[in-house]
Structure 1
Amino acid sequence: WIANSLDFNKSYDASVFETTIRVVGGLLSAYDLSGDKVFLEKARDIADRLLPAWNTRTGIPYNVINLAHGNPHNPSWTGGESILADSGTEQLELIALSQRTGDPKYRQKAEKVIVELNKTFPADGLLPIYISPDRGTPSYSTITFGAMGDSFYEYLLKVWIQGNKTSAVKPYSRDMWETSMKGLLSLVRRSTPSSFTYICEKNGDSLIDKMDELACFAPGMIALGSSGYGPGDSEKFLSLAEELAWTCYNFYQSTPTKLAGENYFFRDGQDMSVGTSWNILRPETVESLFYLWRLTGNKTYKEWGWNIFQAFEKNSRIESGYVGLKDVNTGDKDNMMQSFFLAETLKYLYLLFSPTTVISLDEWVFNTEAHPLKIVTQHDGEISGRSDGQHRPNIRLRGRKGGRFIDDIRIH
């Protein structure tokens, strides 16, 4: 079907971000897992249709493009601005596509975004969710590790892992990520009376005691990055990851259905309370449980994952699949199974109960849609924003030594 029927020549306004992480990432992952070049050819086809989105004054992409006719633009509701997560979460896929095809143009587009953002990267590494594609500077808007911010920070770490942690990629990945983690620490608070650790949002100088379930990717990200620190900081960040995972697990345990709402508010003396009360089968908490199980070997994370799976089985399972809940307090069902439930939620649950050699973290890096990509060493001189990038990359597949919104539901 992929070879004979999959046709991207459609007059459809597509999200550049969602199409990159779901379609380009999925096809590249299928290629890495199977070796069948039909997947690589299709990944290149769809990526070529997306690429004009990066043709802006700064290289920071527009977030929407028509797959048949081009015409890149930003949604009207952003006021013409680009979204941080949507613009800064394409590096893994486009770098991988350049590595697999030998054509540097994809990597150049993705890496130019990060080079541009690095020019005015703040001391705390925290960027607002709206960025001007014309000026390359952030607009006054919310800072968050939840919706519209999340995966930008995730990819700063994962590009370093994808490049096999070499010095070539560190300045535009790991170094920026560590700066952002200093900023994250400034947003960490603990609730009363139960001392749940959570990550605030920030507007100007004001902190907002609110955390999205989307931000529950952060415990896994922090745990994954903790081993790159020296012993003291490594332990500190791993401990923080474990504390945040406990909070995210309690997002689930604190409701009558044992499924998490979309976001939570924290108030003095009241711990946490559900804000937006739907559940659309999101993966972020089980993603973090997967990483923490792999990195610590603590079976508690498997137990928590099993409890969440059982809650999905009880509340969301129907004859034809799974559906979300309109309200986690009442259990009222909606009528939609998001694609990320299969791509991410069930995949991470499956891997949580699989041998650690299945998609080993020494050989693979997961994109933000849970599609595993082979780790490939990136050498000096291969960062596109700092070189002419006209050479074909020297690719060696080997083990290393060491967002979001959805298309169907947008909140703004």
Structure 2
Amino acid sequence: MKSNRYRVLAFVMIMLLIFSQSVTAKQHQKPSNKEKKEYQQRVKTAFLKGWDAYKNYAWGEDAVNPIKKGSHNWYQESLLMTPVDAFSTMYLMGLKEQMKEDKALIFSKLDFDKNFEVQQFEIAIRLLGGLISAYQLDGDPRFLALAKDLGDRMIPVFDTPTGIPYRLVNLRTGEISGNGTNPCEVGSMLLEYGMLSKLTGDPKYYDLCKRGVVALYNRRGTTGLVGSWIDCDTGEWKDTRAHISGGIDAYYEYLLKGYLLFGDPELKEMWENCRDAVNKYLVDDGKNGYWMGWADMNDGKRTFTRFGALDCFWNLTNVLEGDHERAEKFQASVYKMWMMEGIEPEAVDYSDMSIPEDAKYYMARPEAIESTYYTWKATGDIKYYQQGKAMFESIEKFCQVDNGYVQLKDVTTKEKWDTLESFFFAETMKYCYLFFAPEKVFDFQKYVLNTEAHPFKNTWDKGWKGNQIGLK
């Protein structure tokens, strides 16, 4: 009897060894070159179909409405959102003909001498970031000249009693307004203004932007978290809810990426303190998965069990720090949310895995695909490559129309939403493409992608020689 037990035990151990070896082999299996080339072309075709819709119905405007064959602008006049946002993706895809026509449009039509106010942070990440990246990738000095003109027109927002920038600025007069703001609109321009300082040799852009970042950080709650809304004049918090979703997300993202790009040790200190607070108070690891919820910035008590599409960005921070265990747990939840209805809703209530009524739409956001891409590159596990492929197929199936791509009003019914914003070209298609692109096309260890997925490259001595701002 004893010998039989030993035989059974030996058999089980051998089978477990074989199984573990097969799992390991599967994890490190590489997709075939044939398949990757097929999907490279399919993603390029999708990008070009969207771009052709823009050319046919919205040329010279901010964005396209494919179904009605029309266009829309963010403000009274176009600022060429789609052409500027699309350029870095065209470059990585090697679309030389489209780059040529895009440059001709930008240099003939883009003019920032406009007598209306704009939302400074959105313009910074899309246009300022897009122009700076285009300059680094393409080398045409006219891109940098446009970026400097834009930066000079927006920099008055930092002239406030606390250093926390206002939200809005008139591009012609420099008049500022919007003295209430959120952390994202305080800090998620640091890469763009920092790059402008490095490339022009003028430190004012980075120094002023960082002053606002530090002012907000010094007002964080007793948990170490920042809240949702703050008065720029007094520094008083008007909303103490803490989370990593829209309104806060890229504030945290840019602390880490700013350190990686510029080598500023104060950004590293701020990032590590904020990261630890997020992991302590916002992580909600339960029966339905590994999520990030909402809590009060002062007492840390849970206030909301909502996880949004924008929250998916957090996984790139796990990867960039080498925390693959957290990255894989987080990614499992990201993919779970995406597959609930075959394509991602704007948010879920993870307490019961329901989709709130106000969050049933899909804006063609990239963050879930971005999270999947980073996890794939970090682990080499082919399942994340397969997840990225499935996400692209979802967009093909549900967002494609005869003459372009659109968003969805309702992921449960797949009702179309006749609009396509510029980040579809800047981010969504770029991350889809990078899953299948040759390794030489992009090395994410050499570049830092801004929150609009525009590549920035360090071209200077990274030894930090800047001034210390003064953390509390």
User: TM-score scaled to structure 2, two decimals?
Assistant: 0.73
Distance 1:385 1:372 in 2: 27
Q: Which residue number corresponds to residue 449 of structure 2? A: 366
Cα distance in 2 between the residues matched to 1:327 and 1:104: 46
2:393 match: secondary structure: helix
Residue aligning to 2:465 = 381
Query: Does 2:327 align with 1:241?
Result: yes
> Is 1:262 paired with 2:332?
no
Report what 1:47 is aligned to: 151
Partners of 1:378 and 1:132 lie apart in 2 by 34
Separation (CA, whole Å) in 2 of partners of 1:336 and 1:197: 32
What's the offset of the Cα at 1:3?
2.5
Question: How many angstroms does 1:65 deviate by?
Answer: 1.1
| Superposed displacement of residue 359, structure 1 | 2.4
1:64 aligns with 2:129: no
Name which of structure 1's ranges 197-206 and 180-189 shifts more when overlaid on structure 2.
197-206
Larger Rg: 2
1:312 maps to 395
Q: Equivalent residue for 2:272? A: 178
Distance 1:177 1:212 in 2: 22
Listed as ranges, the matches of 1:2-401 within 5 Å are: 2-74=106-178, 80-122=179-221, 124-163=223-262, 166=263, 169-171=264-266, 173-185=267-279, 186-192=281-287, 195-203=288-296, 205=299, 206-207=301-302, 208-224=304-320, 226-227=321-322, 237-255=323-341, 258-267=342-351, 270=352, 272-275=353-356, 276-375=359-458, 376-383=460-467, 385=469
Measured in 1, the distance between the counterparts of 2:135 and 2:255 equals 24
Distance in 1, Cα, partners of 2:441 & 2:158: 36
For 2:277, the aligned partner's letter is: G
* Bigger Cα displacement from structure 2, 199-208 vs 290-299: 199-208
Q: Determine if contact 1:15/1:65 at 8 Å carries over to the other structure.
A: yes
Between the aligned partners of 1:18 and 1:377, the Cα distance in structure 2 is 29
How far, CA to CA, are the matches of 1:106 and 1:384 in structure 2?
15
Give the Cα–Cα distance (whole angstroms) in 2 for the partners of residues 218 and 209 of structure 1.
17
Q: Distance in 1 between matches of 2:465 and 2:230?
A: 28
Shift of 1:141: 2.8
The answer to whether the Cα contact below 8 Å between 1:221 and 1:288 also exists between their aligned partners in 2 is no
Measured in 2, the distance between the counterparts of 1:317 and 1:354 equals 22
Structure with bigger helix share is 2
**Residue 370 of structure 1, CA deviation:** 0.3
Task: Read off the aligned partner of 2:256 and give its amino acid letter.
Answer: L
1:122 Cα deviation after fit: 4.3
Corresponding position of 1:408: none
Helix, strand or coil at the partner of 1:3 = helix
CA contact (8 A) 2:221 2:227 kept: no
Give structure 1 stretches of 5+ with no counterpart. 75-79, 228-236, 387-412
Equivalent position amino acid for 2:284 in 1 = R
Asked if the contact 1:315/1:331 (under 8 Å) is kept, the reply is yes
For the residue of structure 1 that corresponds to 2:415, the secondary structure is coil
TM-score using structure 1 length: 0.83
CA RMSD in angstroms comes to 1.7
Residues 1:273 and 1:377: Cα distance change in structure 2 (over 3 Å): farther
Supply the distance in 1 between the matched residues of 2:438 and 2:108 (Cα, whole angstroms).
Answer: 35
Task: Measure, in 2, the Cα distance between the counterparts of 1:357 and 1:117.
Answer: 39
Opposite residue 273 of structure 1, the aligned amino acid is: S
CA apart distance, 1:290: 1.4
Matched residue type, 2:290: T
Cα separation, 1, equivalents of 2:450 and 2:113: 25
Identity of aligned residues (%): 33
SS for the counterpart of 1:365 is strand
What is the CA-CA distance between 1:219 and the residue it aligns to?
Answer: 1.1
Task: Name the CA distance, whole Å, in 1 between partners of 2:463 and 2:235.
Answer: 27
Query: Per the alignment, in what secondary structure is the counterpart of residue 239 of structure 2?
Result: coil
Aligned partner of 1:393 in structure 2 is none
The Cα shift of 1:249 comes to: 0.9
Aligned partner letter, 2:340? S
Provide, for residues 290-337 of structure 1, a one-character-per-residue CA deviation record: whole Å limited to 9, x for no partner: 111222222221110110111111110012221111100001001001
Q: Which moved more, 1:203-212 or 1:287-296?
A: 203-212
2:345 corresponds to which letter in structure 1? G
**Offset at residue 137 of structure 1 (A):** 4.5
Distance 1:100 1:137 in 2: 35
Encode CA deviations 1:49-97: one digit per residue, 9 max, x unaligned.
11111110121110111212222111xxxxx421110111111000100
The question of whether the paired residues in 1 share the 8 Å contact of 2:230 and 2:239 is answered with no
1:125–1:181 Cα contact (<8 Å) kept = no
AA aligned opposite 2:226: L
Q: In terms of mean alpha carbon deviation, does 368-377 or 151-160 score higher? A: 368-377
The answer as to whether partners of 1:162 and 1:377 remain within 8 angstroms in 2 is no
CA deviation after TM superposition for structure 1 residue 250, in Å: 1.2
How big is each residue's C-alpha offset from its partner over 1:331-356, in whole Å with a ceiling of 9 and x where there is no partner? Answer: 10010011111110110111121233
CA distance in 2: counterparts of 1:54 and 1:374, whole angstroms: 25
Q: In 2, are the aligned partners of 1:8 and 1:46 still within 8 Å (CA)?
A: yes
Displacement after TM superposition at 1:126 (Å):
1.1
Distance change in 2, residues 1:222/1:377 (3 Å): farther
